[in-house]
Chain A
Amino acid sequence: MSVVTPKHFRTDLARVRGRGTAKSGTEEFWLQRVTSVAGVPLTIVAIVIGMLLIGRNQAAAAQILGSPLVAVIMLSFIVCTILHMKIGVQEIIVDYVPNETLKLALLLANTFYSWVIGLICAFAILKMSFGV
């Protein structure tokens, strides 16, 4: 068994792939828990709001979705779930995609997709809130 004698003082972990230690990594784990705790009541209320809007026309739907309380709840639901889904799918990509290039591309796509969906939803709510 040939072990390469290190000529430097970096730790074994730091030498792994030559990229150094991550130095962080628990933020997303924690954020995933925070957004799951917040997500439970927000999801229940969002489903109820969705049910209340079934069958209503655009004017009524926009009025209800744009009213202050509903808008704030929906914005919270959107921010919470978009953060949660971005981390969740990132986890899936890291778990199942061994190819580094493809992994990088998918991680980028995941970030873009999450931001675009989140911004569309948030913009729509704000537009209904502020009229125009």
Chain B
Amino acid sequence: MAETRSLERRSPAQRPLSPHLQIYRLALTFLMSGFHRVTGFGLYFGSLLLAWWLLAAASGPNAYAKFQWFSGSLIGEFLLLGFTWALIHHMLGGVRHLIWDTGRGFGPQEREWLAAATIIGSLTLTAIVAVVSYFATGGAR
């Protein structure tokens, strides 16, 4: 028993580490890979906004007024816009991953095209959502 324990506690061998991010030339595919993780992680904390919104709506007029005050403020609008973009970008990046899961889309042109489509698509759709939302609320308040 003592022998197996010492085996378990043996520290890992000191092996050279493979190069990390900084060694590679910045490419759009590389950037979009990072964006997918970063937007996902951002949405993790953005879910607080969703929880606040729903809880406020369920609580009553006063609680909802507080949320609306925040969401109407400059920082609130910025966060909601960022949340919307992150959500759309992560969704499109997810579609890209689902295409890859079928074994397709790995060709040299395809992957560049997919990466470009992800960022152009997310920015375009976010702009549409923002403009429609802006006019839906009657423009500037």
Q: Which residues of A contact B (CB under 8 A)?
A: 4, 7-8, 15, 17-18, 33, 36-37, 39-40, 43-44, 47, 51-52, 54-55, 57-59, 61-62, 65, 74, 78, 81-82, 85, 88-89, 92, 117, 120-121, 123-125, 127-128
Chain B, Cβ-Cβ closest to A47: B129
The distance in angstroms between the C-alpha atoms of A7 and B63, with both chains bound, is 66
Given the interface contacts A18-B7, A39-B91, does A58 sit within 8 Å of B60 by beta carbon? yes
Given the interface contacts A37-B98, A39-B94, A121-B50, does A47 sit within 8 Å of B87 by beta carbon? yes
Q: Which residues of B contact A (CB under 8 A)?
A: 3-5, 7-8, 37, 40-41, 43-44, 47-48, 50-51, 54-58, 60-61, 63-65, 84, 87-88, 91, 94-95, 97-98, 101, 129, 132-133, 136-138
Query: Which one, A4, A55, A89, A121, contacts B7 given CB within 8 A?
Result: A4
Identify whether the interface residues of A are mostly helix, strand, loop, or mixed. helix
Given the interface contacts A18-B4, A47-B84, does A65 sit within 8 Å of B44 by beta carbon? no
The distance in angstroms between the C-alpha atoms of A62 and B60, with both chains bound, is 9
